[in-house]
Amino acid sequence: MTRPLVNSSALGSVDARAALDALGTYAERFADIEARAGDAVKRARASTGWPEQVALERQIVAEQHRQQEAEFAAFHPHAGLLIDRARSALAFQPPARHVAGWSLLVDDLEAAADLARRRFADETSVDRTTVRQCQATWARQARLLRDLAVQETPPSTGPELPAAEEARWTAHAHDVRRRHMMYLYESRYDAAGRQLTVAGVPDLDEPSEDCVLIVAGDVDSATVRVLGRYDTCDQALAALPPAVQPGVLHPRGRFPRSPGALPALADLVEDVAGATQSQTVAEVLGYLVSDSAGPRHLSHLSDLLAECADFALATETVAGRDLSVRLRGLLVQVDVLDRQLHQALTAFEDTIAVLPPHRTPQPRHIKAPPAVSATPPPVQAAPPRVPRRL
């Protein structure tokens, strides 16, 4: 890894504050530019034809990249100081599973800053696409870098109860959780990698009153520990050590979105409401059921349920594992629904039917006459067929 871009020992707290402010401003403006460009692209797609749309989208994206590059160029001189401060903070972090990953992210930010510096110096070996990726890296990891850069002392370890009191309250926490009498207020991870939860429970010494506990570990696990007991939630929250940045569901990148645009479900409902023949309903159902030709609503629903199940499992809690199993069960039901809708679609395709003409719309600007029964007249039985004599 390259050397730090700036030697932080020569800079004071004023420079650090300016760097932190610049980082926050850059991340905020980067996201704002991205959001405004996305809205502009949507408007262009809705209001222009294909050739004009492509040209307009290119203009919008080019302007987005120009503005983001200008913001990053203004922030870039502060990058080295922030990296140095983050490395200093990492040096006194308590041992935890996430520290190695944080260190890699700081190294990655330093590499991104170095690539951008070379681009700003007109080195042709670094293209604009690479610099845009560097800009996005700094915008996405701004919160982690800021949290590290503001640390000047070892993180707080939080409260601790005497051993006897801890055992007594931990047994009580197990009991009230088992009886569904625990109310969860907040959960976070601290610098030591502990999951800390603020939970309301009936008081052990005065069962008619409630109190608040700080619990370490999964509240449904056998290894849970009670760290502190408080009269109010505000007192418990004040005693918590600072939260660290949560992890991500997909460490290798965001979940890839399916290509292609689908009509919204509300639009499909309107299509069926305005349909006059069964073929239209079949076409609408075609947007729901899975199809190898492209994404459909049910395939998106399956993706959504799978992501929710993965997220629940990734929390590494007992409740999360149970919820993941339930969501996986729903995936099976979606598959059954998909097959049944395929059958309904085929039935609509085979039914060459139109709505009867007596289903006329009501007038909008005049008073409607009294409703007339739309029941068709009874069908008279046909006379028995007499065989023809040859």
Structure tokens at 16: 């650090």
Quick one: how many helices (H) and strands (E) in the chain?
12, 4
DSSP 204: S
Q: Looking at residue 372, what is its pLDDT?
A: 55
Answer whether residue 195 shows pLDDT above 80. yes
Helix (H) or strand (E) holding 197: strand 195-202
**What is the average pLDDT value for the chain, to the nearest integer?**
87
How many beta carbons lie within 10 A of that of residue 342, not counting itself?
A: 17
3-class secondary-structure state, position 366: coil
Range 18-29 average pLDDT: 96
> How do residues 148-175 score in pLDDT, each as one tens digit?
999 888 898 899 999 999 999 999 999 9
Res. 363: pLDDT tops 80:
no
Could you identify the residue written with the tokens 């309250």? 169
* C-alpha distances in Å from residue 31, one per residue of 67, 71, 83, 300: 11, 11, 21, 26
> Which positions ≥6 away from 85 have C-beta within 8 Å?
8, 16, 148, 149
Contacts of 202 (CB under 8 A, 6+ apart): 176, 181, 208, 209, 210, 211
DSSP code, position 144: H
At 101-160, the pLDDT tens digits run: 999 999 999 999 999 999 888 877 778 889 999 999 999 999 999 999 998 888 988 999
Which tens digits make up the pLDDT trace of 47-75? Answer: 766 677 788 889 999 999 999 999 999 99
Question: Are 71 and 28 within 8 A, CB to CB?
Answer: no
